[in-house]
Amino acid sequence: MPADNHSLAGVAAEPGVVKPDPIVKGSKITRQFGGLKAVDVEHLEIQRGVITALIGPNGAGKTTLFNLLTGFDVPDSGEWSFNGTSLQKVPAYKVARRGMVRTFQLTKVLSKLTVIENMRLGATGQRGEKFWSAPFRALWSSQEDANTKRADELLARFKLDAKREDFAGSLSGGQRKLLEMARSLMVDPELIMLDEPMAGVNPALKQSLLGHVKSLRDEGRTVLFVEHDMDMVRDISDWVIVMAQGQIVAEGTPDQVMSNPAVIDAYLGAHHDTDITELDESSLEAAAEAELDEEATHG
Ligand SMILES: Nc1ncnc2c1ncn2[C@@H]1O[C@H](COP(=O)(O)OP(=O)(O)OP(=O)(O)O)[C@@H](O)[C@H]1O
Is the ipTM reported for this complex over the cut 0.85?
yes
Q: Please state the atom number of ligand 1 nearest to the C-alpha of residue 73.
A: 1
CB of 64 within 6 A of ligand 1: the answer is yes
- Summarize pLDDT for 74-106 with one digit per residue, the tens: 999 999 999 999 998 898 888 988 999 998 776
Look at ligand 1, atom 27, and give the residue with the nearest C-alpha: 58
92 contacts 193 by C-beta, under 8 angstroms: no
Termini Cα distance of the chain: 41
Query: Hey, what domains does the chain have and what are their CATH numbers?
Result: 5-229+236-298 (3.40.50.300)
What distance in Å separates the CA atoms of residue 244 and residue 76, rounded to the nearest whole number? 19
123 contacts 186 by C-beta, under 8 angstroms: yes
Give the SS3 label for residue 48.
coil
CB of 55 within 6 A of ligand 1: the answer is no
What distance in Å separates the CA atoms of residue 38 and residue 233, rounded to the nearest whole number? 23
Question: Per DSSP, what are the bridge partners of residue 171?
Answer: none
What distance in Å separates the CA atoms of residue 288 and residue 244, rounded to the nearest whole number? 17
pTM recorded for the entire structure: 0.84
The arrangement of strands across the sheet holding 51-55 comes to 100-102, 191-195, 222-226, 51-55, 239-244, 247-252
User: Measured in angstroms, how far is the CA atom of residue 169 from the centroid of ligand 1?
Assistant: 26
83 contacts 246 by C-beta, under 8 angstroms: no
User: Measured in angstroms, how far is the CA atom of residue 199 from the centroid of ligand 1?
Assistant: 17
User: Measured in angstroms, how far is the CA atom of residue 147 from the centroid of ligand 1?
Assistant: 35
121 contacts 139 by C-beta, under 8 angstroms: no
- Summarize pLDDT for 114-162 with one digit per residue, the tens: 999 889 888 765 444 444 444 554 554 556 677 888 999 999 999 999 9
